[in-house]
Amino acid sequence: MLRFVSQFSIFGLEPQVWSVSDLTRYVRQVLDSDYRLQDIWVTGEVFNVSRPSSGHLYFTLKDSEASLRCVMWRSEVARQKVLPRDGEAIEVHGNISVYEVGGQYQLYAGAIRPAGEGELFQEFLRLRARLEAEGLFDPERKRPLPIWPNRIGVVTSPTGAALRDVLNVLRRRFPLVEVILAPTPVQGDQAPAGIVSALEALNTYSQPDLILLVRGGGSIEDLWAFNDEDVARAIAVSQAPVVVGVGHETDVIIADFVADVRAPTPSAAAEVATPDRENLADELAKVRNTLERKYRDYLRELRREYKDQQAALRIASPRAQVANARQRVDEALYRATAVVRHSLALRRAAVVGLVQTLRAVGPSAVLARGYAVVTRVDDGVVVRSISQVEPGDGLNVRVSDGTFGAEARPPFDSLTSDPML
């Protein structure tokens, strides 16, 4: 047992003052000199496994009361038959020392062997099996997403990057959609109850066309709220279809299996939920081209038929047959023309409707509703954030009926709100 005693100066007045590096080196020497810590086996559940480009392996061992950071150098990693995965219970052999730069003690691993599945991973498997047996994962239960959503609910943290990513995608792809945020913590002990309450509130009061449940990436512990049974059941009973975009593409959670649509990231969830106005313009052009081609083909067929009738009349020769044939051709041409005109009227109406839809989502319509496009005078760059301007910068402001100049200055006191929320 070590006991630290203050060291005083020669005059006996002041204790010795350690630098951080000296103290850390001393602690490392103490740990390195303890033979009991130089050849040990430690068992626990694996979390946060990471293997960067250096080839070294980093992970955390946990039990119900504590956690221990571990590192295995690349040379040792190459000797392992199987590397650990998140959720597994393993036994690790190595020595305890201190990483001086971070000031943390950690286990320097030399060997790894399995110790059975970890409790959290077993809990994940048991819940997944039970919910699957109840039919919550059945493809027949999943609902299609609306093609033209008017209102989208978003369940996420109001301060996270996931919300910014979703709003940026929605503004770019489908700016007319109304967005309703149901803020909630998305990690920690309070997250499952918060997510359930947010889903219930959206379905009860806001009634969106669909709901985005999103969160950025993180460790398995950070994402564990989305493996909660109450969250899974709240997704299953949601009146609106639910798109789950949590973590990164490689992360797998219970909420993914229950969701109507699973997206790999928050941005991808917003992409899946909305049509793209540029794609709408492309579709309109395709429809117009198809109508024009069919019209030309139909007229070409009528001309060919008319010429065939003329040839038949010339072959038959008698005036009566010519007169009768000419009358039949005239009647056929009249009916064909009527059909073409009716078909063109219907297709023109469809084209007009698509054009009106395109205009409604176009930039001019957005400006007419009170929005503006602000560019810097010196380089013409569009200003999307206050971080792009400095006080005194010259600005050009384009509104629906023209452009005027302005100068950047601190805002007047007023209530501000994001029109997307």
- Asked whether residue 419 carries a pLDDT value surpassing 90, the answer given is no
Check residue 299 and give its pLDDT: 87
109 DSSP β-pair partners: 94
In degrees, to the nearest 5, what angle opens at C-alpha 323 toward C-alphas 319 and 326? 135
- Asked whether residue 117 carries a pLDDT value surpassing 70, the answer given is no
Radius of gyration for the chain, computed over Cα atoms and rounded to the nearest angstrom? 35
Condensed to tens digits (0 to 9), the pLDDT of residues 312-333 reads: 766 666 666 666 777 888 888 8
Q: Give Cβ neighbours of residue 408 (< 8 Å, ≥ 6 apart).
A: 389, 390, 391, 392, 393, 395
Instruction: Please give the Cα distance from 83 to 45 (Å, whole number).
Output: 13
Q: Give Cβ neighbours of residue 213 (< 8 Å, ≥ 6 apart).
A: 155, 156, 195, 199, 235, 242, 243, 244, 245, 246, 255, 259
Tokens 């077993």 map to which residue? Answer: 122
β-bridge pairing 261-263 and 67-72: unpaired
The predicted model scores a pTM of 0.49
Condensed to tens digits (0 to 9), the pLDDT of residues 381-413 reads: 989 998 999 898 899 998 888 999 999 998 876
Q: How far is CA 383 from CA 38, 71, 394, 396, 409, in A?
A: 59, 45, 12, 10, 14
DSSP H helix total and E strand total for the chain? 12, 13
Are 194 and 184 a contacting pair, CB within 8 Å?
yes
Instruction: Please give the Cα distance from 224 to 210 (Å, whole number).
Output: 24
Tokens of 218: 């993180």
- Listed in sequence order, the DSSP H helices in 95-190 are 119-133, 161-173
Check residue 7 and give its pLDDT: 47
Instruction: Please give the Cα distance from 14 to 74 (Å, whole number).
Output: 47
Residues 200, 201, 203, 204: what is their CA dihedral angle, to the nearest 10 degrees? Answer: 110
Are 358 and 280 a contacting pair, CB within 8 Å?
yes
What is the Cα 311 distance to its own chain's centre? 66
* Arithmetic mean of pLDDT over the chain: 86
Give the residue with greater pLDDT, 107 vs 414: 107
Check residue 251 and give its pLDDT: 66
Are 156 and 216 a contacting pair, CB within 8 Å?
no
Check residue 8 and give its pLDDT: 45
Instruction: Please give the Cα distance from 55 to 78 (Å, whole number).
Output: 9
Tokens of 393: 């910068």
Check residue 280 and give its pLDDT: 73
Give the residue with greater pLDDT, 414 vs 247: 247
Residues 24, 25, 27, 33: what is their CA dihedral angle, to the nearest 10 degrees? Answer: 160
- Asked whether residue 51 carries a pLDDT value surpassing 70, the answer given is yes
Residue type (1 letter), 242: V
Are 178 and 152 a contacting pair, CB within 8 Å?
yes
What is the Cα 62 distance to its own chain's centre? 30
Are 198 and 230 a contacting pair, CB within 8 Å?
no
Q: Give Cβ neighbours of residue 404 (< 8 Å, ≥ 6 apart).
A: 396, 397
Total count of residues recorded for the chain? 421
Instruction: Please give the Cα distance from 16 to 27 (Å, whole number).
Output: 16
233 DSSP β-pair partners: none
